[in-house]
Structure 1
């Protein structure tokens, strides 16, 4: 007991000292906290709302047509404009109308979720009449053109490159500079994936509108069963080979449909009935995806982490396209199974399918061509990962300068996050947000001048940076103690755990007083927050209630003060807490452990775990409880729901149920009725346009909070703490942190430049 008290007193002392340092920056602190109080997160809205039509503006008619068209329309529809009206409009389905998804930049809606302050960010120029007609390039590439090692810049760019406008900030930049940052090892692939972004279509930085990206244009039919993508004519891979619909169809025919390569099909490739879509090439630069039933969320999924592209591939080999000219040499359909297996065995792989996916991962295989702004030179298996400018990158600024501005990205290994944090404080890195923990904020503020940097905080409304996930699948499939698994499947057991610890301690010690305690239904968090009455549900310290619930389950206390199982065995819970990640999961677990012991008589064992081992244990359904961030945010609910329901292996509340949800041949259906109900609702909502799935989303969130699928702690804390050198230009302000949009990729990093 003395040791426990000394540990808590020591942490409180550290907190007080830290807060005093923060108070020396009182004005900045107040402004930042004010920003957090209103939130900095934007919800994904627009883009796929194509069913309710109030007004159609056609290409040939210069005036607005007020009537609703319900019969075949003989002219091409360029844009559907929806306005709010005070009367109810009857919902109609017009299958002849095609909805375009390229709204005018500047017509973006403000976030429906939270105010974002004075937002300044890089925008796409969608009006092609305002695109530059001549192009320039970096000095190093110009030298290669002169020597004959590269074609001219105009021949390397597509016919219509993406044009980025950063005039909200520092505008047209200058070439040069190496972006120095840190990573924590081979499992930290997201470090470069987030920066690189190679989605077929994407979001604006506010996460309010879908945008073209690799695809120059895209559209859906009115009932959201067929989606058409128009690629950029003349676009090339980083090795100069053409990027065409053949690369998309290669992925479909020889990756998605081949069980040797991708046995578990990614969720986004299937509708609610489990039937996979059909990809077809119309011509070299056009392809379609067709589903047997409406799939209202599909375009939003393609724009985010669920699909992500060739570089990110979440899941591996699931990126939606692949370089056919390069990857064919490893595929049995092209070289024969015998040769493909020989290549695999020579490289140390058991079979050709696994080897193929490894070769298809540019983060590990630097020989793979890419479509990203920087291409790999040294991968993540070394102490330093190097990425250099892609000479064939398909974007320019408003003056016609081919992007990116920065020559290189160099990531240096820092296996110890504490050491990484001290190096950030010392000013060693140009832009670093990932792995900067909140406990470093006082030191960062103190050393801003000396380090030549500024600190910028981002927040994700509703999301909890530290969440405990009781695994309701534990012991259900032969893994682990079934008696403990049965308790984890009891809502009252989870509720007791949730009200049995003091979240304010975590707020003060781990987050230095930032954020606030809340449930997984924190408000404001539109559009899926079920209501203010859910904000604190089962999330306020109530020792008496917790013990009442545990007593009601027949969990008696032994002579040592700890509870036993109904059969009389010692009740010991085990939680895996990832080390070397984003927040102090182990430190938070220590505070929870002490409170559960003192308040409830629950014995908690903490197992510090490396991130890749966490993945293994979740996939094998071996984790009893696990700690991770996320849970409770509206934005990812239909777009990246891993932490909101049992969606896949990463869903801590039901990793086996999540894998079954993706592939019914794996594990089995959930034993938890509430998890099963959420899965059914999610499939129903995914078929609908956003406006029609809001009530379903609220119901999913209600279930999560009433049944305590996730034990959240603190919301409105900094999602990432960005440390930015003073010479960095075109870094946005007033924009949200987003998992779906892969911050900082959502900032359009190719437009960053250094004023040195």
Structure 2
């Protein structure tokens, strides 16, 4: 017996998107005003998808917020910028507060018996550099990354081949892709929604320059390899494409904040993504916060620095042993 589960988050947005769009001229973030005035950034109506994801805060018992603000936090090493991927929690498919799957980056997704998964993208969705986000970005990652034995020598993530074989990938149209397994793969959606999400898509327009198949200028490839201290083109591609640990500030992203700081650094600055796909019910483009500043410190003194007021929000480097000290430092 065939069972179907359909999640129509895109249709929720369709009902109220026109109201949101009409309000947008008055709700541009102050953080972007200079770029908007210079004409280097289009207005919000041209930056977000035709039907953005609407986050109705009042339905969650919250009041809509206001633009602005910088959050300082402390990390124990450069590798810990990966926590920004968790904090932002932008996923193709994510969990809601009831741990039910909901479309986020996707406009819609459809599952048939955990065997056939059809994903629909949001029309007009863009990467953080303003380039279109389309099904071709899934196709590139499938055909030229996962199926390339230099970039993926192990045959692909185990979550993609739970029974030994990879699924069949289809690009149905510029906004629709499909993955089909011969047997059910009930872990596909959970791995897409998890804290370390399974990567099945990347910005093809940017990454092709690092791929041997698409880079005709060997001298340029050698130059990029030398600049990034790698000896093989595949190592260059892997380094420049790493999204979970966003060390490459030039890598386009779909996250709410994008890294602006190259390695090495003792401080990383993440600025708001002006093309982020979510808005609140008043028409304000999310996120509200303009910037995250991550200061690198020794893990052993993160709690002391947080207690001294050097962090506005601290989720790592502290534990229950620090509770008494942090509680005493609360007012300070």
Q: Give the structure-1-normalised TM-score.
A: 0.41
SS of equivalent residue, structure 1 residue 182: strand
SS in 2 for 1:427: coil
Partner Cα separation in structure 1 for residue 322 and residue 311 of structure 2: 15
Relative to structure 1, is the Cα distance of residues 146 and 346 closer, same or farther in structure 2, using a 3 angstrom cutoff? closer
Give the distance between the partners of 1:196 and 1:127, measured in 2 at CA: 20
1:101 paired residue number: 7
Q: Aligned to 2:145, which of 255, 266, 270? A: 255
Check conservation: 1:268, 1:306, Cα contact below 8 A: no
**Residue 267 of structure 2: aligned partner:** 384
* 1:281 corresponding residue in structure 2: 171
Farther off after superposition, 349-358 or 422-431:
422-431
- Give the aligned partner of residue 201 of structure 1: 93
Quote how far apart the aligned CAs of 1:170 are.
4.0
How far apart, CA to CA, are the structure 1 residues paired with 2:227 and 2:41?
34
Q: Which of these residues, 220, 231, 239, is aligned with residue 350 of structure 1?
A: 231
SS at match of 2:239: helix
Tell whether the 8 Å contact from 1:102 to 1:210 is kept in structure 2 after alignment. Answer: no
Distance 1:198 1:406 in 2: 15
Counterparts of 1:510-589 in structure 2 under 5 Å? none
Counterpart check, 1:241 vs 2:119: no
Give yes or no for contact 2:118–2:178 (8 Å, CA) kept in 1.
yes
Return the offset for 1:380: 5.5
**Separation in 1 of the partners of 2:197 and 2:111?**
18
Residue 189 (structure 1) aligned with residue 81 (structure 2): yes
1:358-397 residue pairs with structure 2 within 5 A? 358-361=239-242, 363-379=246-262, 381-397=264-280
Instruction: State which of 261, 264, 281 in structure 2 corresponds to 1:398.
Output: 281
After the TM superposition, which parts of structure 1 deviate over 6 Å for at least 4 consecutive aligned residues? none
Whether 2:20 is the aligned partner of 1:133: answer yes
CA distance in 1, matches of 2:104, 2:248: 24
Unaligned 5+ segments in structure 2 are none
Distance (whole Å) between structure 2 residues aligned to residue 307 and residue 148 of structure 1? 35
Q: Per-residue CA shift, 1:8-67, capped at 9, x if unaligned?
A: xxxxxxxxxxxxxxxxxxxxxxxxxxxxxxxxxxxxxxxxxxxxxxxxxxxxxxxxxxxx
Query: Structure 1: how far apart are the matches of 2:289 and 2:185?
Result: 39
2: distance between equivalents of 1:360 and 1:126? 33
Flag the 1:374–1:366 CA change in 2: closer, same or farther, 3 A: same
SS at match of 2:133: coil
| Cα distance, 1:226 vs structure 2 | 1.0
Q: Secondary structure at the match of 2:304?
A: helix
CA distance in structure 2 between the partners assigned to 1:338 and 1:138 by the alignment: 42
Cα distance in 2 for residues equivalent to 1:388 and 1:247? 24
Helix, strand or coil: the match of 2:323? helix
Structure 2 match to 1:436: 318
Partner residue, 1:151: 42
Q: Distance in 2 between matches of 1:431 and 1:304?
A: 22
User: What SS class does the counterpart of residue 133 from structure 1 fall into?
Assistant: helix
Question: Displacement, 1:387?
Answer: 0.6
Task: Report SS of the residue matched to 1:375.
Answer: strand
What is the alpha-carbon distance in structure 1 between the residues aligned to residue 165 and residue 254 of structure 2? 30
The equivalent of 1:325 in structure 2 is: 205
For residues 493-548 of structure 1, give each alpha carbon's deviation from its aligned partner in whole angstroms, at most 9, with x where no partner exists: xxxxxxxxxxxxxxxxxxxxxxxxxxxxxxxxxxxxxxxxxxxxxxxxxxxxxxxx
State how far apart, in whole Å, the 2-side matches of 1:436 and 1:346 are: 37
Bigger Cα Rg = 1
2:323 maps to 1:446? no
Residue 160 (structure 2) aligns with: 269
2: CA distance between counterparts of 1:194 and 1:335? 33
Alpha-carbon distance in structure 2 between the residues aligned to 1:165 and 1:379: 35
Using the TM superposition, give the Cα deviation of residue 152 of structure 1 relative to its aligned residue in structure 2, in angstroms: 1.3
Deviations 1:177-223 (A, max 9, x none): 111001111232332221133321111134x20011110110112x3
Kept after mapping to 2: 8 A contact 1:162/1:394: yes
Deviations 1:533-589 (A, max 9, x none): xxxxxxxxxxxxxxxxxxxxxxxxxxxxxxxxxxxxxxxxxxxxxxxxxxxxxxxxx
| Cα distance in 2 between the residues matched to 1:337 and 1:275 | 35
Query: Structure 1 residues 426, 346: closer, same or farther in 2, change over 3 A?
Result: closer
Shift of 1:352: 0.7
For residue 160 of structure 1, report the CA deviation from its aligned partner.
0.8
Q: Quick one: distance in 1 between partners of 2:124 and 2:233?
A: 32
Q: How many residues align structurally?
A: 322
Q: Structure 1: give runs of 5+ residues left out of the alignment.
A: 1-92, 104-123, 309-318, 451-756
Task: Say if 1:403 and 1:380 are closer, same or farther in 2 by CA, change over 3 A.
Answer: farther
Give 1:407's match in structure 2, choosing from 272, 290, 294: 290
Q: Work out whether residues 31 and 68 of structure 2, in 8 Å CA contact, stay in contact via their aligned partners in 1.
A: no
2:300 pairs, out of 408, 413, 418, with: 418
Structure 1 residue 327: Cα displacement: 0.5
Residue 205 and residue 99 in structure 1: after superposition, are their counterparts in 2 closer, same or farther (change >3 A)? closer
C-alpha contact 2:69 2:289 (8 A) present in aligned 1: yes
Scaled by the length of structure 2, what TM-score is found? Answer: 0.90
SS in structure 2 opposite 1:355? helix
Q: Give yes or no for contact 2:249–2:260 (8 Å, CA) kept in 1.
A: yes
